[in-house]
Structure 1
């Protein structure tokens, strides 16, 4: 393992975070080369630390670069778009390469995400999100146990809920959490239970989890330990059985989950590039929520970081946080963007970053362009 330099704490602490620890991490020697080979960087969210973190290759080392947010969780990408679900709102960003060229140090960045829209949802506990090809943003509304989209005149627009949930209520009845779109439409969802009572999923959290088929409402696999993040890739349906710390494959016809490998942390958040799955690991807190799950019995010491898993061989390379971050929620691969930057309301440069329609650029004074 090789160390990366500790990153200074943000001068602006996210809501609810007091004196955040500096981020520090270690990684296996071949992790930077893997990102270079794939031509990607990673974005990950940690609601516990209140940060969005870019993981970028820098020669034979990894560079971790962060921005502060209020409880960031789900993320979605589509082309130049990046959406981040936060405590009471969803932020949508766009990559503006012309701005990237002006960010210090000049010439280093090949992408720069600027905020274009913020939608206030209220505290709906946004979990996984996905863009449809038409740009519609689908999100798991965990507090109301439903799948929803956004409407300008509403907090959210409910679109589906599990058949066993009888009504919309801010009660987190089944802890709906994971989402997968197939052919542009919502197809699979995960939940930690099948309860119709407020927080009822907690009574059987160790083995009450399910993978559901959204169009039919049927349960595809039951008896799972805190499942998250269904993903269809190369004709196979992948899933994280978080309570067991594993990544594996689902056979929908047989209703069976088979682990590919078990990792040293609570597996939550996944994105796939080629044959490599980037899987988020969390240490998980010693609390009633995580007591009694197989992972807690299997491991006394648990890891927070990102494991790159080869989906054919199960071989892994690792990136681990050693301070500042204990839990990861979402991971996104940023294809073709090796050195991304993001400007949000905590960054002064945003005040002077203007983007106009191409048709209007001819009317802009030459002294303001450059």
Structure 2
């Protein structure tokens, strides 16, 4: 536990609390145990930004198997809570509900607190209530449509999918160039943009139709496709991720070059708005700000990209963490940085109206004794 913020210099404040829930995989439990206060740092204004904007953050880190919840304590210090989930992948978040893809499940967490209830200082406490076992699908983006359906990027099978009561998944949409649903990660389909409550656009690293074919097209060949028409809007991106429709513009992270920007739907041109010092994945918006997740480039998929040269040009080291960007200026206004055992982020979501989120791990001993009862309203019959 970290009781008070530690000011290390005029620009940086250390996180003031971290709680962890152990997870079955040994490496994940060890990672939580080794996470030290110095491994997480924040900009001085991060807690104030969250408090002023009345929002908290949820961040998935598949490399450590953690779902990080970030809020503000009553004392004003920033608060981190880690939930061990195993391979934490695509994430959908609402104030009352979290939906997370893991190594072989889609888990639905529900907030069990009423408005006047607290667990410690937490005003939301997320408990796993439903786990749909899918097998390993390498799930990336997850969205909830306007009719309540869960749709996810089934990266392993190169399609968008929904959950099925009997089977691992049901294909919902497949690119027209994919000839077969096979567990081959052919094009690395990874991102979903909702528009008017329905999936409208997807990103993928290439249009390959052979096993792991996308790996030979990482520099250029990244696609953004219109779901309704199957039109390829562009295939000149570099490992694109996290398409999002926001205020009339289609935003996307061009991860291979390190840029956040928008797509001109008429020409397909990518218009960069700011540079991100790391392999960026995970994008959320809150009012006039973008919140972006950053990972350290690793050997293999992330090496040898234009991002390497962009970092060299700026004499910059890559980041792992989250940056908050002012959309009007493209400036980074606040940030969270992870060092040590945490090296990769996958997704980031906002929790509007939530001050301090917390929760329980699906594998924790707490789940055996954490029992809640729904209130029952009695109806009085009248003659």
- Structure 1 residue aligned with 2:261, among 248, 258, 282? 248
Tell whether 2:19 aligns with 1:4.
no
Question: Counterparts of 1:323 and 1:5 in 2: how far apart (Å)?
Answer: 17
Question: Counterparts of 2:21 and 2:371 in 1: how far apart (Å)?
Answer: 25
Question: Counterparts of 1:139 and 1:306 in 2: how far apart (Å)?
Answer: 23
TM-score (norm 1): 0.91
Tell whether 2:308 aligns with 1:296.
yes
Tell whether 2:359 aligns with 1:342.
yes
How has the CA–CA distance of structure 1 residues 335 and 292 changed in structure 2, closer, same or farther, with 3 Å as cutoff? same
Tell whether 2:336 aligns with 1:319.
yes
Q: Tell whether the 8 Å contact from 1:99 to 1:112 is kept in structure 2 after alignment.
A: no
Who is 2:65 aligned against?
50
Q: Tell whether the 8 Å contact from 1:176 to 1:189 is kept in structure 2 after alignment.
A: yes
Deviation at 1:360, TM superposition (A): 6.5
- Structure 2 residue aligned with 1:77, among 66, 90, 93? 93
Who is 2:147 aligned against?
134
Deviation at 1:78, TM superposition (A): 4.1
Who is 1:366 aligned against?
none
Q: Tell whether the 8 Å contact from 1:44 to 1:332 is kept in structure 2 after alignment.
A: yes
Question: Counterparts of 1:22 and 1:13 in 2: how far apart (Å)?
Answer: 17
**Counterparts of 1:1-370 in structure 2 under 5 Å?**
1-5=12-16, 7=18, 10-12=21-23, 14=25, 17=28, 19-20=30-31, 21-23=34-36, 24-58=39-73, 59=75, 61-78=77-94, 80-98=96-114, 101=117, 103=119, 105=120, 108-285=121-298, 287-299=299-311, 301-316=317-332, 317-359=334-376
Q: Figure out how many residues of one structure are paired with residues of the other and give that number.
A: 358
3-state SS, counterpart of residue 339 of structure 2: strand
Q: Tell whether the 8 Å contact from 2:92 to 2:142 is kept in structure 1 after alignment.
A: yes
Unaligned runs of 5+ in 1: 363-370
Q: Tell whether the 8 Å contact from 1:175 to 1:191 is kept in structure 2 after alignment.
A: yes
> Which deviates more from structure 2 when the two are superposed, residues 57-66 or residues 336-345?
57-66
Q: Tell whether the 8 Å contact from 1:46 to 1:327 is kept in structure 2 after alignment.
A: yes
3-state SS, counterpart of residue 359 of structure 1: coil
Question: Counterparts of 1:328 and 1:357 in 2: how far apart (Å)?
Answer: 35
Listed one character per residue, the Cα deviations across residues 312-370 of structure 1 (whole Å, up to 9, x for unaligned) are 111212110122311000001011111111123344443333344433689xxxxxxxx
How has the CA–CA distance of structure 1 residues 183 and 322 changed in structure 2, closer, same or farther, with 3 Å as cutoff? same
Listed one character per residue, the Cα deviations across residues 160-209 of structure 1 (whole Å, up to 9, x for unaligned) are 11111111000000000000111121101000011001000111111111
Question: Counterparts of 1:100 and 1:117 in 2: how far apart (Å)?
Answer: 25
TM-score (norm 2): 0.88
Q: Tell whether the 8 Å contact from 1:14 to 1:69 is kept in structure 2 after alignment.
A: no
Q: Aligned-residue CA RMSD in angstroms?
A: 2.0
